[in-house]
Chain A
C-alpha cells in the first residue's frame, strides 16, 4: 500500500485510471491493479491518509493529475496478486510511512490516527467481497481452504473492535458514554448487516433490468399483435391468392421498416423515402410488387419534386396498363444529375402510335419534365416492356 508512489509520473509506471471500477476517478483501482493489491485496501490507505490533515486527498488529486484514463481495460496487463511476504512488505512500508509522518510531526494525534487505521482497515477486510480467494500471509493463519472468507471476517471484526476500543478509551472523557454506545452499536450493525444490505441493493438492480426487459418484450408483443397477427388472420380468411400476396407484402414492408429503419419514416424529406412511399402506394392500390433500388440520396425539395411526380405517373401507367408481374424503380443521384428509371417487363406499346390514353400520359410526363428543365425518354416496344427514363440536373438549370 505504497501510496507515496503517486507523487511520481504514474503513467510511466503503468498506472492508469480504471474506467470500469471507479468511485471518484478510478485511481485507486489503477494503483491496485498495477501493484497486485485489492482495490479496497488502496482506498483504505487513501482514507487513512486523509485523516493526516487531508494528505490522502492531496495525494489523490496529485495522482489524478499525473495519470490518464485507461482506454480499454484489456490494453494494460494486470499484475499478479502479491505473494504473502510481498504483501507483508507492502504493509510494513505503509506502516513505516505513517510512523515517518508521525515522527516529523505531520500527525493529528494518536487518539485520532490509531482508531482510524484500525477501523478503516477493519471495514476494508469486511467489505472486500471480490478478492476472497487471494489469501494474505496474515490471514492464512486463521483461514482454511474450506471457508475462505472466514479469516477476513475475523480479521475485520478484530481490527474494528481494537479501533473502536482505542477510540472509545480516548474519547470517553470528552464525549461521554452515550456516544460510545451509539458508535459501537452502529459499527456492530454495519458489520452484521452491511454485506446483506449491499447484496439486497444488487438484487434490486437486477430486478430493475429484468423489468425493463419485460416491458420491452411486452411492447414487441403488442406491436406484433396489432400488425403481423392481424394480417395473418386476414390472409387465412382470404380466398384470393393475389390478395394474399399483397397483404403479405404490405405486412413484410411494414415489419421491415419497424425492425430495421430507425430514421426514414414515410413522408420524411429525402428523395429515397419519397419514391419508396410512392411505390408503396402503387403496390397497395394495384396489387403489383414494386421494387425500389436507390444509389445515393438527396433532399426532397423543389428540384426533386417534379421528377418524383413524373415517376409517380410512370408507375401508375405501368401498374394500370403493362400487365407486368413486377415494376422496378431505380433512382440514382450523382454529383450533377438525378435519374429515375421506371421499368416493367410487361406488354409494352408503340410510342409512335398516336392513339389512346397512354400517349397522353407519356406526353404529360415528357412535358412536365421539360417544363422543369429535365428530360424524359420513353422506350417501349410491343411485347418488350416499357422503360421511362427521367433525368434532371441538380442545380436546376
Chain B
C-alpha cells in the first residue's frame, strides 16, 4: 500500500481526509505544524506527501523545499482550498507533481495519489486551464521552444482535461493510450517547472488585474 504523510493546519480537515483515505492508502503521519511535519516526513520517508498550501510559517512551499533537500525522492501532491493562479503555479514550480482542490471526491483523491506515486502528474481542470492560459500567446523568438512552448498534442490533451475529462477518457477521445496521455502531461509539468516563459510566477500574479 502507498505510504502517505499529510500536512494541514486544519486538524478537522486533516482527520476528515485521513478517515476517508484509510483502507486505500497507509497514512503514516499527519501533522498540523510545518516543523513537526518536516521531521515526521524525514523520519517516516513516505511515498507521497499531501500538503496544504496556506499554513503559518511558510506554508506548503516551506515543506516542499525543506524535505526536497534531504529526501529528493519524496513526491508531493498539493491540496488546497485556494485555486488562485499564483498559489497553483508556485507549488508546481517548487516541485509538487500535482495540485487538487479540497473539494475533490475521496476516490478521485486516491486516484491522484496513485498517479503521483507512479511518477505521473496530476492536472485538475483548473490547473490545465492556467497552463493553457500561461502558454497561450505567441512566443518571442529568443525563448527556448523546447521548454517554453507546448506542442499541439500537449495543448489538445490539456484542453480535454480542462473540459473535465479523466486521463482515460482523454485517451479514448484522442485515440491514444493512457500511457501516452500521462507522458504528455508529465512533459507539460516539466515545462511548467523549468520554463522561464514570462516568468510564470509573474504571469500568475498579474492575471487577476488583466
Chain A residues with CB under 8 Å of chain B are 260-263, 291, 293-297, 326, 328, 330, 332, 334, 341, 343, 345, 387
Contacts and interface: CB of A to CB of B under 8 A. Distances in A.
A4 B84 CA distance: 57
Interface string B11-25: 000000000000000
Interface in B112-146: 125-126, 128-129, 132-133, 136
B165 A343 contact: yes
Given A296-B133, A343-B165, A332 B209 contact: no
B209 A330 contact: no
A1 B193 CA distance: 55
Contacts of A345: 164
A258 to B, nearest CB: 14
Given A260-B208, A291-B125, 19 more contacts: A291-B126, A291-B164, A293-B125, A293-B128, A293-B129, A293-B162, A294-B133, A295-B129, A295-B132, A295-B162, A296-B133, A296-B136, A297-B210, A328-B125, A328-B164, A330-B125, A332-B159, A334-B136, A343-B163
A295 B210 CA distance: 12
Q: How large is the interface on B (under 10, 10 to 19, 20 to 34, 35 or more residues)?
A: 10 to 19
17 contacts: A261-B208, A262-B208, A263-B209, A291-B125, A291-B126, A293-B126, A293-B162, A293-B163, A295-B133, A295-B136, A295-B162, A328-B163, A328-B164, A330-B125, A332-B132, A341-B163, A345-B164
Nearest to A339: B159
Contacts of A334: 136
A332 B161 CA distance: 13
A326 B208 contact: no
A334 B132 CA distance: 11
Q: In the complex, which of the residues B84, B136, B164 has the most CB atoms of chain A within 10 Å of its own CB atom?
A: B164
A330 B84 contact: no
Contacts of A291: 125-126, 164
Contacts of B165: 343
A141 to B, nearest CB: 51
Nearest to A260: B84
A330 B136 contact: no
A326 B136 contact: no
A293 B128 CA distance: 9
B75 to A, nearest CB: 25
A40 to B, nearest CB: 41
Contacts of A341: 163
Contacts of B136: 295-296, 334
A328 B133 CA distance: 17
A343 B210 CA distance: 27
A256 B162 CA distance: 21
Contacts of A261: 208
B134 to A, nearest CB: 9
B129 A294 contact: yes
Nearest to A333: B136
Across the A-B interface, the 4 shortest Cβ-Cβ residue pairs: A328-B164, A293-B129, A330-B163, A295-B132
A387 B126 CA distance: 18
A297 B159 CA distance: 16
A293 B159 CA distance: 10
Contact of B163 (A260, A263, A297, A387): A387
A294 B136 CA distance: 12
A332 B209 CA distance: 18
Contacts of A297: 210
A332 B84 CA distance: 19
A326 B129 contact: no
A104 B125 CA distance: 83
Contacts of B129: 293-295, 330
Nearest to A289: B103
Contacts of B126: 291, 293
Nearest to A345: B164
B164 A326 contact: yes
Contacts of B128: 293
Interface in B140-174: 159, 162-165
A291 B163 CA distance: 9
Q: In the complex, which of the residues B84, B136, B210 has the most CB atoms of chain A within 10 Å of its own CB atom?
A: B136
A167 B164 CA distance: 87
A102 to B, nearest CB: 60
Contacts of B210: 297
B133 A330 contact: no
